[in-house]
Structure 1
Amino acid sequence: MGAEMKVYTLEEVSQHSDRKDCWLVIDGKVYDVTKFLEDHPGGDEVLLSSTGKDATGDFDDVGHSTSARAMMDEYYVGDFDKAFVPAKTAKYTPPKQPDYNPDKTPDFIIRLLQFLVPLLILGLAFVVRAYTKSSTA
């Protein structure tokens, strides 16, 4: 690279935040990933959601391969203004979320059914046993 690369501010990068013009900041470097949106294995929404901020944490959390990291050079457009690069000392703590319940059944109904169904089966077994005893006698 003979020419010196441009240094971009967060304001400049955040102006490139849609499907037709998408830039990301990863490890203090700015990447124009517009041409890569359709080919991204995680989908274009993942990349679009990381625009307008430092996407280093999002990128690192996924655990990209060395080949994915090597591909980044193709999309490099310049450096990010170091004054805006956040320190990596803050640790991200995800918000507490309820356990996943795919059918959205309230927890108390599930617990009630877990108690009542075995009782119904046991009661039915006694009724069938009593009926068969009375019919054979």
Structure 2
Amino acid sequence: MADAKKIYRLAEVKQLAEDRSKCIMVINNRVYDVTKFIDEHPGGEEVLKEQHGADASNAFEDVGHSTDAREQMKGYEIGEIHPDDIKTKVKPRPLIVNPSNSSENAAGSWVRFVIPLVIVIVAIIYFRLFSKPTVDTNNPPKAI
């Protein structure tokens, strides 16, 4: 038999949060006890403690957590919010791929180098071809 998750009313979540030795929060209508994760959280323990007893959906989604983080949080889920207390889910922000790993950006990096180089070369050629030579009036060219 599958482990059934408990259904919590928001008042019950607030009651759970009265225990300061725990860290309880709601993210997208799911209740989490992240007490055991506080020391491991990459963003530090304070960001979790700030959300203790609250709906942390916006804060969680604003950070743009990875797929791995979303998978990991399933292990801390202790229940769901009662249907009468459900709020609209906060949509996740799109993940931004690390630009240094992008092959598209690799092509863009050499282009950022080549374009200024081409401009400099064109400028040099232009000035050599179209600039008038200066004549020194004190030393005119000698006739042969």
TM-score relative to the length of structure 1: 0.57
Deviation per CA, 1:20-46: give whole Å up to 9, x if none. 211111111111100000111111111
- What letter matches 1:50 in structure 2? Q
Count of aligned pairs: 89
Deviation of residue 82 (structure 1)? Answer: 2.8
Answering whether residue 58 of structure 2 is matched by residue 40 of structure 1, we say no
Structure 1 contact 19–37 (Cα < 8 Å) conserved: no
Aligned in 2, Cα 1:58/1:6: closer, same or farther, shift over 3 Å? same
Cross-structure match for 1:8: 8
Distance in 1, matches of 2:38 and 2:15, equals 17
Structure 2 gap ranges (5+): 91-144
Answering whether residue 5 of structure 2 is matched by residue 25 of structure 1, we say no
Deviant stretches of 4+, over 6 Å:
none
Aligned in 2, Cα 1:80/1:45: closer, same or farther, shift over 3 Å? same
Rg comparison, structure with higher value: 2
Deviation per CA, 1:7-61: give whole Å up to 9, x if none. 1122221233365211111111111100000111111111111122211111000
Percent sequence identity is: 47
Deviation of residue 87 (structure 1)? Answer: 3.3
Q: CA RMSD in A?
A: 2.0
